[in-house]
């Protein structure tokens, strides 16, 4: 097949216009096109006058080799790459020890799925509850201010991204097209097919819940096991090799290969791993506040006269500013038409994040406005970043009045350095509520200074961004893992054989898609290791 890119058509084009445009581009007759499928579609809203879709399509034609030769110098006409998933091998016959996977977020789900599809029968240990029960518990904090430290936004079936916007794109290098496998499995599990071809796919929280359940059933159908409310509280290491785990219940499980897909909030587990001698190191992450604007303002700033057009949906943004004090401030996890959510997993702490439904039709846009920090800001070893996160989250709890309400301030007041007393035209969406205050003590001074400098700079990129009534809510601390459980080229821990750190908590992913891809890579490395070890 051939991949033809940059086919541009007005957004209201009839279906037959696409094959006609492709045929014209290639100089062939429409009837010669045996098959056509859209690989990617993005909407170009840069020009105020015309709104166009830009397509990349895969087409099957009789004389592809000839055409490729004719378009040899044209980067927009190429052979379609093989994007099918290729398994690295099948599980050997016989009993063999079953791989253990800790955590059932995207990294753990995809590690388990690939291993199950390869004929291994992985055992997944997840500290939280199955997703339906977990949803009740998560809403318990949002509606009733009751936190279950083992079943919440961070912990439970589906992992941290289950109550999210479900954005499914990433900047990672992916030469083997593992991201495609992730998206295809999501579609099999119930995601809309469009995630395979739209430019910035998202699924919203509602669908994610059903998809996660469906993927669990598939893993079980293939012989895997997924156990909930099974917190791993100890790892057995003998002579530098994994031998098994202890669960919080006291149960012990033997295992020669252990995938740690913990997520970035498993602070107690990181402490346990450090005590067990597993090599870890501090890594950079970001801290900040979450900002809310009317979605209509963002739509107008991004799409101008096209704002509100159904083909465009709710606009997103991505902003970066490099500050005079050397810090960089950027927008993080932007959720168009969504809500700010309470995302703590620990008692008496407040953490913000964002989520939305597939429709993205809530009135506000929200995003983290975060400042990059490095271990130089939190010296003291691998766990020092966690100590800083905890300090900021506890302070936010107190600033919010000590009841899981979040501290908030209007942008105009934040920039002027005065506490907020009244809301303006923007209603905060954070549940269980916000308390208006002064956020200047919510973060270290350098971070407050950087955000104060960045907001007006962002307003120069996106008109209205620094509007007085926009709301800032604090604090955004769980942007990525503050540490890395470092692994070698064989994907195993640097000092413990059989231990496979995976996903965001281990420092190897930063989002649903990249965590899923990392889970696949780890499953492949584990498979290779088993196959190389041979029988017995
Ligand atoms: P997680 O998803 O964090 O999964 C780790 C799992 O391990 C958890 O279920 C946890 O309970 C379990 N676990 C931890 N310790 C133990 C233990 N000791 N024993 C047993 N189980 C344990 N990313 C995007 O790409 N797009 C988005 O739109 C998006 N929105 C988000 C919105 C919110 C509110 C949040 C919180 C995150 C969002 N993210 C988003 C980030 C995304 O969710 C994460 O990057 C992703 O889930 C990381 O996957 P993971 O599998 O590495 O870890």
**Residue pLDDT, tens place only, 425-470:** 999 999 999 999 999 999 999 999 999 999 999 999 999 999 999 9
Asked if pLDDT for residue 531 goes beyond 80, the answer is yes
Instruction: Let me know: does 20 contact 9? Beta carbons within 8 Å.
Output: no
Query: Which atom of ligand 1 is nearest to 165's Cα?
Result: 28
Cα of 351 to ligand 1 centre, how many Å? 14
* CB-ligand 1 contact for 179 (6 Å cutoff): no
351 lines ligand 1 (CB under 6 A): no
* Helix segments in 254-358, DSSP class H: 267-275, 295-303
Q: Kindly state the average pLDDT of the residues 462-488.
A: 98
Average pLDDT over residues 133-154: 95
- pLDDT of amino acid 46: 67
State whether the beta carbon of 336 lies less than 6 angstroms from ligand 1: no
Q: Please tell me the distance from the alpha carbon of residue 527 to that of residue 115, in angstroms, as a whole number.
A: 8
DSSP sequence for 391-421: HHHHHHHHHTTSSSPEEEEEHHHHHHT----
pLDDT band at residue 256 using 50, 70 and 90 as cut-offs = very high
Per-residue pLDDT tens over the stretch 331-362 = 999 999 999 999 999 999 999 999 988 888 89
pLDDT digits (tens, 9 = 90+) for 73-130: 999 999 999 999 999 999 988 878 899 999 999 999 999 999 999 999 999 999 999 9
Task: Give me ligand 1 centre to Cα 161, in Å.
Answer: 5
**175-226 per-position pLDDT tens digit:** 999 999 999 999 999 999 999 999 889 888 888 899 999 999 999 999 999 9
- pLDDT tens-digit series, residues 287-329: 999 999 999 999 999 988 889 888 888 999 999 999 999 999 9
228: which 2 tokens? 């909930």
Mean pLDDT of the region 502-526 = 97
Q: pTM of this prediction?
A: 0.96
Edge-to-edge order in the sheet of strand 241-247: 232-238, 241-247, 252-254
CA of 241 to the centre of ligand 1 (A): 27
- Cβ 155 under 6 angstroms from ligand 1: yes
Residue 134, pLDDT above cutoff 60: yes
Domains, the chain, in order of start with CATH, read 2-79 (3.30.70.2700), 100-280+485-533 (3.50.50.60), 282-476 (no CATH)
Structure confidence at residue 165 (pLDDT): 82
Here the ipTM equals 0.99
Q: How far apart are CA 282 and CA 481, in angstroms?
A: 9
Query: What is the pLDDT, as a whole number, of residue 305?
Result: 87
Q: CA 294, CA 299: separation in Å to the nearest integer?
A: 9
pLDDT interval class at 535 (50, 70, 90): low
């Amino acid at each position: 097949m051939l991949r033809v890119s940059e086919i541009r058509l007005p957004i209201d084009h009839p279906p037959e216009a696409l094959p006609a445009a492709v045929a014209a581009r290639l100089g062939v007759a429409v009837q010669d096109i045996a098959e056509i499928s859209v690989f990617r579609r993005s909407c170009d809203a840069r020009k105020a006058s015309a709104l166009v879709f830009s397509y990349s399509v895969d087409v099957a034609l009789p004389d592809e080799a000839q055409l490729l030769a004719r378009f040899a110098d044209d980067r927009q006409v190429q052979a379609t790459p093989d994007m099918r998933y290729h398994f690295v091998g099948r599980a050997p016959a016989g009993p063999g020890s079953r791989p253990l996977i800790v955590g059932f977020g995207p990294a753990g789900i995809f590690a388990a799925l690939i291993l199950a599809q390869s004929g291994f029968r992985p055992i997944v240990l997840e500290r939280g509850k199955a997703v339906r029960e977990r949803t009740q518990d998560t809403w318990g904090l949002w509606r009733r201010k009751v936190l279950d430290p083992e079943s919440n936004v961070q912990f439970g079936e589906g992992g941290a991204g289950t109550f999210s916007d479900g954005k499914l794109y990433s900047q990672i290098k992916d030469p083997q097209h593992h991201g495609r496998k992730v998206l295809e499995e999501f579609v099999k599990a119930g995601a809309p097919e469009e995630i395979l071809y739209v430019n910035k796919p998202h699924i919203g929280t509602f669908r994610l819940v059903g998809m996660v359940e469906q993927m669990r059933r598939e893993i079980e159908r293939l012989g895997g096991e997924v156990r909930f409310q099974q917190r791993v509280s100890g790892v057995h290491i003998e002579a530098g090799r994994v031998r098994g785990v202890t669960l919080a219940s006291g149960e012990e499980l033997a295992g020669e290969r252990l995938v740690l897909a913990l997520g970035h909030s498993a602070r107690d587990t990181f402490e346990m791993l450090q005590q067990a001698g597993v090599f870890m190191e501090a890594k950079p992450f970001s801290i900040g506040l979450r900002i809310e604007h009317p979605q209509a303002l963002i739509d107008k700033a991004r799409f101008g006269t096209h704002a509100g057009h159904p083909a465009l949906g709710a606009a997103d943004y991505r902003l970066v500013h490099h500050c005079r004090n050397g810090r960089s401030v950027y927008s993080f996890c932007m959720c168009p038409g969504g809500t700010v959510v309470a995302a703590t997993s620990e008692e008496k702490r407040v953490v913000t994040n964002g989520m939305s439904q597939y429709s993205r039709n809530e009135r506000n846009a929200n995003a983290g406005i975060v400042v990059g920090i490095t271990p130089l800001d939190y010296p003291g070893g691998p766990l020092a970043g966690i100590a800083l996160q905890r300090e900021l989250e506890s302070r936010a709890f107190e600033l919010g009045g000590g009841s899981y309400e979040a501290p908030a301030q209007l942008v105009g007041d934040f920039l002027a350095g005065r506490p907020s007393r009244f809301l303006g035209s923007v209603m905060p969406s954070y549940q269980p509520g916000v308390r208006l205050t002064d956020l200047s003590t919510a973060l270290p001074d350098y971070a407050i200074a950087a955000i104060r400098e960045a907001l007006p700079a962002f307003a120069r990129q996106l008109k209205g961004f620094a509007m007085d009534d926009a709301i800032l809510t604090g604090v955004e601390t769980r942007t990525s893992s503050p540490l890395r459980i470092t692994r070698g080229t064989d994907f195993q821990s640097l000092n413990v054989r059989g231990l496979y750190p995976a996903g965001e908590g281990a420092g190897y992913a930063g989002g649903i898609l990249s965590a899923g891809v990392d889970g696949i890579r780890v499953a492949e490395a584990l498979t290779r290791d088993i196959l190389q070890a041979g029988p017995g």
